[in-house]
Amino acid sequence: MNPTRPLIALAFALLASTHGNARTVYRCIRDGTVSLATAPEPGSQCFAKELDDDAAALPNLWGRMGVFHGTLYKREQDGRTVYSTRNLPGSTPVLGFTVATPAGSPAHAGLGKVGAPRMDAFPREFRSAAKKTGIDEAWLRAIAHAESYFDAKAVSDKGARGVMQLMPETIADYGVRDPFDAKQSILAGAKLLKALWTRYEGDLVLAAAAYNAGAGAVAQYNGVPPYVETQEYVAKVQALHARYRKAMKLPPLPGQLAPAR
């Protein structure tokens, strides 16, 4: 028997509002980090998840984060006690827990090849998403180029979909109704990239690695994971980023080589 399972079960029991045989847990995202709570967290983007008490196994609400160690906290919010795995103001620790999330990686080398920039693909959508999120449009285009080569109907062997190759959990977290709609895909991808950019304090290499293999893999290896797919992907994105900045008549970033003619 997994010795952490009773502790995890206790955490889920505390982290839920009971309605018959179902419980509601809120999966909340802030600055690229995930927490679970019994009520929406102020300042986070939260999505309700219904848990079936009769399910044979606990669902994975964390994503692919390897072995995740956390603390369950409680605090008062709107006149009632709320439990959360994020240490918000006024919180006190209740218990520590360990969750072993699924092994493996959703990493893939991407469907696009390093080549000439494509400025003709969804220009309005990329411009709008970059403006709304404040991220470098050239970087957003480089990610899309590496991921799908701007194919709105693309599906990878790992299950990623659309222009930005969104994984199912990203589709759910960002409220994407149709992952094959270019506008929705590009905006959700831009929001995810902004969260990763913030999390890694502007380190585009780590942000690209996390977009490809997951933040858990980056944390597990304290840097770019040793997956061939991810290493190839990061190198491809770096080369494409330089080419898109040149195509957009932007100067190379510090430490970024100008692309060969």
Residue 259 has a pLDDT of 45
Q: CB of 111 within 8 A of CB of 148? A: yes
How far lies 154's CA from each of 146, 162, 165, 217, 244, in Å? 12, 5, 7, 24, 22
Mean pLDDT of the chain: 82
Instruction: Report the distance separating Cα 160 and Cα 227, nearest Å.
Output: 18
What percent of the chain stands above pLDDT 90? 46
Residue 6 has pLDDT above 80, yes or no: no
Residue type, 136: D
The helix or strand, by DSSP H or E, that contains position 26, with its residue range, turns out to be: strand 22-30
Q: Where are the domains of the chain?
A: 5-100, 123-247
**Residues in contact with 32: Cβ distance below 8 Å, sequence separation at least 6, in sequence order:** 195, 196, 198, 199, 210, 215
b or e along 8-24 (b: 16 or more beta carbons within 10 Å of the residue's beta carbon)? eeebbeebbeeeeeebe
Residue type, 207: A
Q: Could you tell me the pLDDT band of residue 16, with boundaries at 50, 70 and 90?
A: low
Could you confirm whether 76 is annotated as catalytic?
A: no
**Residues in contact with 119: Cβ distance below 8 Å, sequence separation at least 6, in sequence order:** 141, 247, 248
- Tens of pLDDT, residues 116-162: 999 999 999 999 999 999 999 999 999 999 999 999 999 987 788 99
In this structure, which topology does domain 123-247 adopt according to CATH?
Lysozyme (1.10.530)
Residue 254 has a pLDDT of 67
- Tens of pLDDT, residues 183-221: 999 999 999 999 999 999 999 999 999 999 888 889 888
Residue 70 has a pLDDT of 82
- Tens of pLDDT, residues 55-107: 555 566 665 555 667 899 999 999 989 999 999 999 999 888 776 665 555 67
**Helix, strand, coil percentages in the chain from 3-state DSSP, rounded to 5:** 35, 20, 45
The active-site residue out of 125, 137, 147, 229 is 147
